[in-house]
Amino acid sequence: MPSACIFCKILREELPVTIVYEDEFSLAFMDLYPMLPGHVLVIPKEHHVSIQQLSPEMRSHLLEVGAAVGQAQMQSGLKCKAQNFFINDGPDANQHVPHVHLHVLPRSGGDLHKALFSFVSRYNNVFGVAAKRRRLESIASDVKAHMPQKVVSALTSMDRA
């Protein structure tokens, strides 16, 4: 685990985090600089920069966790009628944190301007103001309460990244 990686610091509990879901292989947590309310990131617990470095099983596991988070966002009190699932893979694709992460962004009608504004400001490497921890915790507990009982995954301890 590289000492400087922000997400590895989160995994080592050296930085605060608001968790939505955790299993042996992955962690899903609230984005500290949400593009829209309820923005969640899903990461592998092993440090890898690019999805190309992950096993096929790990790639599909991250998507399964993302889908479960997405389902919970829909059923929660968030304004969420649809979602953007995306990965910025590499600096030229505006990946700011060099540890693979799947964005799960709740969307609803009329939010395009807000989403575009935060997307464009990220091109200038500006995340904006950090969300209040209490607000993140309140959203996370709502989303957590709607997570499916079990995330379906073919991943076993045998086939890590």
Residue 6 is a binding residue for ligand DGP (CB under 6 A): yes
Contact status: 33 vs ligand DGP (CB under 6 A): yes
Calpha distance 126→108 (Å, rounded): 24
CB-wise, 92 or 149, nearer to ligand DGP? 92
DSSP code, position 1: -
14 burial level (CB within 10 Å; 0-12, 13-18, 19+): exposed
d(CA 142, CA 153): 23
5 touches ligand DGP by CB under 6 A: no
48 noted as active-site residue: no
Which part of the chain contacts ligand DGP (CB under 6 A), choosing from 23-31, 65-73, 107-115, 146-154? Answer: 23-31
Label residue 37 left, alpha or beta by phi (over 0 means left) and psi (-120 to 50 means alpha): beta
Structure tokens at 118: 């935060």
Candidate list 94, 138, 141, 156; residue touching ligand DGP; CB under 6 A = 94
Quote the least distance from Cβ 98 to ligand DGP, whole Å.
8
Is 20 a residue that touches ligand DGP (CB under 6 A)?
no
Q: How many helices (H) and strands (E) does the chain have?
A: 4, 5
Interface with ligand DGP by CB under 6 A: which range of 29-37, 45-53, 54-62, 107-115? 29-37
Binding site for ligand DGP (CB under 6 A): 6, 15, 17, 29-33, 41, 88, 94-97, 122, 127
